[in-house]
Structure 1
Amino acid sequence: ISLAVTTLFWGAGATLQFIVIEWGAQQLGYRLDQASILMGVAALGTIVGAYLAGKVPLKKALSVLPMGVAMGLVVLLMPFVKSTWAVHSLLLLIGATSGFFVVPMNALLQHRGHVLLSAGHSIAVQNFNEQLNILFMLSLYSLLLWLRLPINVIIMIFGLLVATMMLVFIYWNKQNHKRDPLLSQCIGEEGHGKALQEC
């Protein structure tokens, strides 16, 4: 679950940077330098969200999954804001929700990767998946631009895609816990490379 979520996050994050710049130019009439500042505002929100996420214990990491749905839904509000304060507030909120849910997921991924594989193996798998998804989502964004879809339509597609995928991951997580009610007890266990030792 954590690998799927972080993979989605990095792909969505990379695409969102380009979307925000294009949105700033088309919707808000910003120059490139002004639109670039918007990413700094979103990054500030991510810092705040990451700080707050630091208070979430590892065993509760999966409880932040709904924040991913919230991020996708908040993105859907982008076409409806115009004023500077509303734009900045919305981007701060998008950044905060993304930072709040990705930090516990990264912590869980690194922990389970260390227990089941090794630090090197888990990081390699994580980076491969993340870069592959970045390539996929940027290709999808390029296709939508090539089709000359308005940026607000692209934003709606993007937000719905993220929210829907997060709902799928939440359902997947619930099914995993139904099959194995003791699954959550594995979070925080000690060990190293268990999956490799079994091979």
Structure 2
Amino acid sequence: MYKFFPHTQEDLQAMMAKAGVKDLDGLYAQIPEGIRFRGDYKLPSEMSEMEVRDVFAKIGSQNQQLTCFAGFGVYDHYTPSVIPSLLQRSEFLTSYTPYQAEISQGTLHYIFEYQSMMAELTGMDIANASMYDGTTAAAEAMMMAVSAGKKQNKVLTKEWKKEQKAAKKARKAELKAMPGKERKA
């Protein structure tokens, strides 16, 4: 499966018209002429990914590196190109527990490993990684909180109507609402 299909000239013309530019160079009009790269990259017709990365790393090394203080995860980081491919594998697209246990031992094993690591990383006593949706996850979390807690029939929650109904249905628990905004269904 290919991830990139080049745009036709008609596509490019329509996009440039929408952007209000006459040609592709118009997209870069605000970049000062003195810092634009106008040369030829001189790449051979075939290169490995690592070779292409090396070439562009050399070009990029001409840039001045500044420290970013933006915070909130905005910092220099590297994501290997294999990550998007791995994340698109069907077994990572859903956390649904498979029904045919005998043919799904690998899936069940990595779900167990993941939730065990999450519990260890977060320092929580309990973690679960196999949920269908928010309501089911909330109901199961409430059931676990009631089961693991000292008070066997009370759960502290925000006023989430769907989750409250699911939790009450799943386990007869008294729900104590904590202050918070009502979530619209």
Which range, TM-score by smaller chain? under 0.3
Higher relative contact order (CA 8 A, sep 6+): 1
Flag the structure with higher helix content: 1
Per the normalisation by structure 1, the TM-score is 0.18
Flag the structure with higher strand content: 2
Per the normalisation by structure 2, the TM-score is 0.19
